[in-house]
Amino acid sequence: MPTNRQILLDNRPVGEATAANFKLVSNDTPALADGQVLVRHHYLSLDPYMRGRMNDSKSYAASQPVGEVFQGGTVGEVVESRHPKYAAGDKVAGFGGWQEYSVVDAGQPGMLKKVDTTHVPLSHYLGAVGMPGVTAWYGLVKIIAPKEGETVVITAASGAVGSAFGALAKARGCRAIGIAGGADKCKYVTEELGFDACIDYRQHPDVKSMSKALKEACPKGIDGYFENVGGYILDAVLLRLNAFARIALCGMIAGYDGQPLPLANPALLLVNRVKLEGFIVSEHMEVWPEALKELGALVGSGKLRPRESIAQGIESAPEAFLGLLKGRNFGKQLVKLV
Ligand SMILES: NC(=O)c1ccc[n+]([C@@H]2O[C@H](COP(=O)([O-])OP(=O)(O)OC[C@H]3O[C@@H](n4cnc5c(N)ncnc54)[C@H](OP(=O)(O)O)[C@@H]3O)[C@@H](O)[C@H]2O)c1
């Protein structure tokens, strides 16, 4: 059996997460028992939610145990199988964690899924045609539920969730406005993702300036807001909401290292009779088949062209993850192992 390099959570962060919170180790891969398969990971998924799991605080998900392989989504190839439904060469998506190989009890529900790479590249099953894509779908379709012609806005627009959101919103006849960090990301958001406009928040670093930019980009006001960041951008959006607007509260990445995210004027939620709903995509497994079907069709037809930031080799995972939390990624952040 092959040697397996793994990254463990070595200790919990105090304040900002650092590379010293992780540790690279090498272990032998155990021999397979009946019902198990050995998967060689091709890509690891790096996701903002992982920062929350590094803490030992109460949350919607159990925290990552210290001293164990850092948990996360993976795609790869079966290299050996002792399960009748899997054979060497099958391409699979799973939750193998930050390691080069995983031994999976393939019969347990939800552990492993075969994926078809005929029209969709393997890596996209961790992004547009995976968890982040379904996240965009759920927030847009089930919470914002836009009517044709309505205006919807999303933060982190060039990222894994944001890029899928743009294609899904345009498919529903919405005016889609992105907010992203930097001219290059904004250019990609409008020219390649098909958003109607994109606001570079670095050029609008306070509520007044951001609110003015939103007024220009959303002349009919904002009907739906998909929140990924939090902070002053949310304050600016609240100033531009229409009556009966809907907010899908998906993430607040600006506060993941413990920064406070005060809200300047929460009374606007009442004034505008706003529906605000937080959600966790893994609690809505019932929508995944429908969402993945639409997302797969958008990618297959070229209407959704997701971008990826790819770090090379298992040892690059911690730094790439810390970069993701600071916006150094451009599109879905992955680590390539093969
Ligand atoms: N609720 C759920 O079930 C669920 C599931 C998946 C993801 N999420 C959330 O969805 C959001 C997007 O996730 P993703 O996987 O698509 O990541 P991503 O957008 O590909 O990457 C994160 C992006 O966040 C932006 N960002 C980071 N810090 C920021 C700050 N202080 N201010 C403004 N923007 C900042 C950066 O983009 P810029 O350079 O443009 O700033 C960065 O590229 C995250 O908040 C994540 O936690 C939630």
| Residue 181 CB less than 6 A away from ligand 1 | yes
Q: What is the pLDDT of residues 214-257, one digit of tens each?
A: 999 999 999 999 999 999 999 999 999 999 999 999 999 999 99
Would the pLDDT of 283 be above 80?
yes
When pLDDT is averaged across residues 310-329 and rounded to a whole number, the result is 97
Shortest-distance atom of ligand 1 to CA 49:
47
Judged on CB neighbours under 10 Å (0-12, 13-18, 19+), 302 is: exposed
CATH class of the domain comprising 3-127+306-336: alpha beta
When pLDDT is averaged across residues 125-130 and rounded to a whole number, the result is 97
At 220, list the tokens: 């009919």
Would the pLDDT of 18 be above 80?
yes
Separation between Cα atoms, residue 179 and residue 133, nearest integer Å: 18
Q: Is the dihedral of CA 198, 203, 207, 211 positive or negative?
A: negative
Q: Which CATH architecture has domain 131-282?
A: 3-Layer(aba) Sandwich (3.40)
Taking the centre of ligand 1 as the mean of its atom positions, its distance from the CA of residue 287, in whole angstroms, is 22
| Residue 8 CB less than 6 A away from ligand 1 | no
pLDDT category of residue 110 using cuts at 50, 70 and 90: confident
Separation between Cα atoms, residue 82 and residue 105, nearest integer Å: 10
pLDDT at 103: 97
Residue 223 near residue 229, CB atoms below 8 Å: no
The domain locations on the chain are: 3-127+306-336, 131-282
Residue 134 Cα distances to 182, 223, 250, 293, 326, angstroms:
26, 21, 12, 10, 23
Would the pLDDT of 33 be above 90?
yes
Secondary structure, 3-state, 286-297: HHHHHHHHHHHH
- Selection from 92-101, 111-120, 251-260 with the highest mean pLDDT: 92-101
DSSP state of 255: G
pLDDT at 312: 98
Q: What percent of the chain has pLDDT above 90?
A: 97
Q: What is the pLDDT of residues 157-168, one digit of tens each?
A: 999 999 999 999
Taking the centre of ligand 1 as the mean of its atom positions, its distance from the CA of residue 331, in whole angstroms, is 10
DSSP letter for each residue of 272-287: TT-EEEE--GGG-GGG
At 124, list the tokens: 């996209």
Taking the centre of ligand 1 as the mean of its atom positions, its distance from the CA of residue 113, in whole angstroms, is 26
**Model confidence, pTM:** 0.97
